[in-house]
Structure 1
């Protein structure tokens, strides 16, 4: 089976996603688990305790991940949208499913950008860490993850069905 232009774009954006994600993990290093803790903090006290538990070196590592993370949402949004377009070429998708698969990555990426702006700001302005800010940011973070992973899950199962169908129809 020959690769189409859309297949090549999907492979390129997927590779860019993997490289971007690996770079962010590399930058975070041993601080990576703190990211999940911060993104799911339930109160200002919890959020502040996580930041206070970091050394200056840890904080520098944590801060450094934000800059490539301002490009990362664009990469995963384009990869997911490209995947949705390719899946729609391979299997029938309802107009509603197409619209959802087009919108969800954009909404997720927008949430990621909002989360990054707030997180970077709070890192330097801890006096603005409040329960309301933390809860709102956590809600955005969790929603972002649910949307992105939900889209990825939908696309993955769709591609597996297409590939399995081709494999077993021979």
Structure 2
């Protein structure tokens, strides 16, 4: 069975976007893009909620300031969007899931292939964590304090215990924390 991994970036004070929705604080450099390319090699499907999809689809098709390999991956990989409010998706290789999140993830996990990844989409990640459908949580903590914004897991409705599997410190000061649900 395929694994579902979630990758999110956060500030040290726990925000995934700033007070005005800004994402310009992310600490990305060559080492980060090298990590991204290695991570992407194990992924063949991306899963998004509506907000995550809209953000990514607005940026990646015309991205010029990112690593070319990461850009090519983001624009070519299969993308599945779980949303009850979208009528269509237009980003290359994107499809709109017709079932709910649990049904969609269960069906995706049963298909042959590599990992399924959630990039961003924190509300969808929270709901899938509560359902026990996330196999691994990768949290990239950036060395910045935003002082406000959207809290990383504010949409959780219950406690989710995690087991730390690995840490990695980047030269930039980013720290990758890898967890599995306990």
TM-score bracket, normalised by the shorter chain, equals under 0.3
The answer to which structure, 1 or 2, has the higher relative contact order (CA under 8 A, 6+ apart) is 2
Greater per-residue strand proportion: 2
Query: TM-score, normalization: structure 2?
Result: 0.23
Structure with bigger gyration radius: 1
> Which structure has greater helix proportion?
1
TM-score, normalised to structure 1's length?
0.24
